[in-house]
Amino acid sequence: FDEIIVDLATKRKQYPRKILECVIKIIKAKQE
């Protein structure tokens, strides 16, 4: 249970930023 929580929390911390980086790349590519 603990590992699941830590794993989930880690994803919550990291994934939005990673996804955001991809989205920003896509937006920039579309603009170019």
Partner 1 sequence: STTISRLKLLDTTVDTFLQKLIAAGSYQRFTDCYKCFYQLQPEMTQRIYDKFMTQLQTSVREEISDIKAEGNLEAVLNALDTIAEEGKDRKELAWRPSGKPEEDLRSTLMPYFLQQRDALQRCVRKQEAENRQLAGAVLAGRRQVEELQLQGQAQWQAWQALHRGQKELVAVLRES
Partner 2 sequence: MSVDPMTYEAQFFGFTPQTCMLRIYIAFQDYLFEVMQAVEQVILKKLDGIPNCEITPVQIRKCTEKFLCFMKGRFDNLFVKMEQLFLQWILRIPPNILLPEDKSQESHSYSEEEFQLLQKEIEQLQEKYKTELCTKQALLAELEEQKLVQAKLRQTLTLFDELQNVGRNHGTSDFRDSFVFLVQNSRKLQSIRDNVEKESKRLKIS
Residues that bind partner 2 (CB under 8 A): 1-2, 5-6, 8-10, 12-13, 16-17, 30
Check the CA dihedral 7-3-9-14 and report its sign: negative
18 sits near partner 1 (criterion: CB under 8 A): no
Partner touching 18 among partner 1, partner 2, none, CB below 5 to 8 Å by kind: none
What is the distance between the alpha carbons of residues 21 and 7, in angstroms, rounded to a whole number? 21
Query: Any alpha helices (H) in 1-32, and if so which ranges?
Result: 2-31
Q: Summarize as ranges the residues that interact with partner 1 (CB under 8 A).
A: 12, 15-16, 19-20, 23-24, 27, 30-31
